[in-house]
């Protein structure tokens, strides 16, 4: 199979995956959800600006809620995707066509990322005119930076969700895996894991100083990495689940944070392909 042929098959599969999301009304539901959220946040920011007679920046108001919603919909929408196709027999049909298992994995990541990123973009597009009409400040540079950061976040959690889908055999297990992943990453449980390991290896007591490796492992959380991008995209400093370090270590800098997110994407896709190619239908 030539590179051009593989690329065309990947594009075809991704396009069909997007169409599936549209036919199943998933894209419609996500679009409405994101649009309502963006419009509601912009309206709320406008009302606040009018009441306090102060300048309010729109992008900072959007970042936190959207940063929580994107991983939620990515995990909830994508985690059952491949396992459901396996259960219904659709996967057998797809693999009978000129689609390899690698194409199925990559196409699912690409197609579902397009759906989720389009919803997030729609949220920003709807929010801007509402904000401007109500006197809320909109910084186009910050808006562009946040849009790109949201795109990376969408790809990251879509790739993680596809990995969950290839590692599980039923939709129920995939859904539980997605829920557990969201809780671990978003609600700070990830940071407790190295602390628990430190407690055990230190003889069931905490040492007076926390080793660097504990903070490094904590920084590997994709949500923490997303926040650490705030050094380059300032509105990300407003997210509620984490804060940008005032004196970041090397692994907490924006460039390192981007590498961490890209690593999550790469490792998740690699695990998905490896698992899927070795799994019987």
| Confidence tier at 234 by pLDDT (50, 70, 90) | low
Domain range list for the chain: 3-186
On the question of pLDDT at 67 being above 60, the answer is yes
Q: Return the half-sphere exposure (C-beta side, CA atoms, 13 A cut-off) of residue 12.
A: 12
Contact 115, 18 (CB under 8 A): yes
pLDDT at 20: 84
Of 60, 65, 36, 38, the closest CA to residue 123 belongs to 38
Strand partners, 137: 57
pLDDT at 111: 93
Output phi, psi for 57, to 5 deg.
-90, 130
Diameter of the chain by CA atoms?
63
Task: Outline where DSSP puts E strands in the chain.
Answer: none
Rounded CA-CA distance 219/227 in Å is: 10
Contact 56, 48 (CB under 8 A): yes
Tell me: the pLDDT tens digits for 139-160? 898 899 889 999 999 999 999 9
Q: Which residue has the higher pLDDT, 57 or 127?
A: 127
256: CB partners within 8 A, 6+ apart: 219, 228, 250
Give the predicted TM-score (pTM) of the model.
0.90
What is the overall mean pLDDT for the chain?
A: 87
Structure tokens at 173: 């297990």
Strand partners, 57: 137
Structure tokens at 63: 């970042």
Rounded CA-CA distance 166/49 in Å is: 47
pLDDT at 280: 67
Q: What is the mean pLDDT of residues 115-143?
A: 92
Structure tokens at 11: 């594009």
Tell me: the pLDDT tens digits for 79-123? 988 887 777 776 777 766 777 888 889 999 999 999 999 999 999
Q: What is the mean pLDDT of residues 242-266?
A: 87
| Cα distances (angstroms) measured from residue 250 to each of 63, 115, 185 | 24, 34, 21
**Of 5-19, 38-52, 249-263, the least confident:** 5-19
Residue matched to tokens 């909109």 = 138
Output phi, psi for 243, to 5 deg.
-140, 150
Rounded CA-CA distance 137/58 in Å is: 6
Q: What is the mean pLDDT of residues 160-189?
A: 92
């Amino acid at each position: 199979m030539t590179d051009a042929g593989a690329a065309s098959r990947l594009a075809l599969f991704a396009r069909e995956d997007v169409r599936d999301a549209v036919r199943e009304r998933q894209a419609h539901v996500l679009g409405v959800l994101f649009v309502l959220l963006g419009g509601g946040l912009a309206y709320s920011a406008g009302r606040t600006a009018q009441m306090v007679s102060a300048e309010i920046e729109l992008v900072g108001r959007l970042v936190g809620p959207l940063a929580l919603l994107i991983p939620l919909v990515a995990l909830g929408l994508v985690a059952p995707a491949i396992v459901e196709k396996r259960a219904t027999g659709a996967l057998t049909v797809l693999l009978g066509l000129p689609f390899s298992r690698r194409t199925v994995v990559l196409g699912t990541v690409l197609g579902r990322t397009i759906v989720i990123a389009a919803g997030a973009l729609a949220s920003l597009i709807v929010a801007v005119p509402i904000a401007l009409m109500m006197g809320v400040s909109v910084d186009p540079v910050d808006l562009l930076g946040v849009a790109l950061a949201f795109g990376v976040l969408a790809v990251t959690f879509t790739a993680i969700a596809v990995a969950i889908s290839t590692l599980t055999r039923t939709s129920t297990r995939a859904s539980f895996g997605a829920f557990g992943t969201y809780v671990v990453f978003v609600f700070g449980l990830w940071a407790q894991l190295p602390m628990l390991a430190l407690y055990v290896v230190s003889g069931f007591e905490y040492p007076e100083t926390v080793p660097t490796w504990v903070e490094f492992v904590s920084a590997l959380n994709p949500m923490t990495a997303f926040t650490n991008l705030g050094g380059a995209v300032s509105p990300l400093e407003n997210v509620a689940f984490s804060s940008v370090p005032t004196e970041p270590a090397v692994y907490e800098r924006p460039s390192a944070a981007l590498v961490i997110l890209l690593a999550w994407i790469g490792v998740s896709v690699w695990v998905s392909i490896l698992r899927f190619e070795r799994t019987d239908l």
